[in-house]
Amino acid sequence: MADPNWARMVSESADYVCGVLSAAAGRPRSWDQPAGTLTWPCRRAVAHTTDCCTWYAALLARRASGDVEVGEVSKQAEPAVLLDALRSGAALLGAAVIAADPDFVGWHSWGPADATGYAGMGCDEILVHGGDAAAGLGLDYRPPAQLCEAVLRRLFPWVSVGEDPWADLQAANGRGAAADPGWKWFTAPPGTWDGSVRRQPVPG
């Protein structure tokens, strides 16, 4: 069995995001506004996040060595449906993490990933895109510092975590004044990190 703490953190991330965004569930038209600095509407940002969680869960559950297909949430769904789907996607990922062989290393387009890597990616997608949607909906948003710090240490081990882990997590994901435009996750088992910074080419 893999580390159950990561399954718990996936659920806590979704609970936080859904709790914040539910305040705007009664304003469905506002969900068609851009999600923060993204060109995507808020609906798409939340649907994408759920799709990511479901995809990571499938990769883990199927012990995938390559890409797999999963059903996707409608990007035109009502806010309450999108939020419930996010809770479901997070629950599926958490269950897959708990059931996973702790020694299993699977496929991801950015490199191999173990159960904690998939869980970390799920948390990152939830927290960061939740922040995008909250910005587009005009909602106050500051996820728990311990969740942000855990995701940073798992996916961005080269980042120095300061007094504001949420700001650091945003920057690591290419957002804000201190954004890293070439950001990339480290998803392989933590003990295999060689100390280098993972980056992807920046166009231009």
Q: Can you name the CATH fold of 4-192?
A: Four Helix Bundle (Hemerythrin (Met), subunit A) (1.20.120)
Confidence of residue 203 (pLDDT cuts 50, 70, 90): low
Averaged over 143-172, what is the pLDDT? 97
| Contacting residues for 153 by C-beta, under 8 A, at least 6 apart | 161
pLDDT digits (tens, 9 = 90+) for 35-72: 999 999 999 999 999 999 999 999 999 999 999 999 99
Reduced to 3 states (helix: H, G, I; strand: E, B; else coil), residue 181 is coil
199, pLDDT greater than 90: no
Averaged over 150-167, what is the pLDDT? 96
Asked if residue 42 lies in contact with residue 137, where contact means CB atoms within 8 angstroms, the answer is yes
Averaged over 71-85, what is the pLDDT? 97
**Helix, strand counts (H, E) of the chain:** 6, 0
pLDDT digits (tens, 9 = 90+) for 4-21: 799 999 999 999 999 999
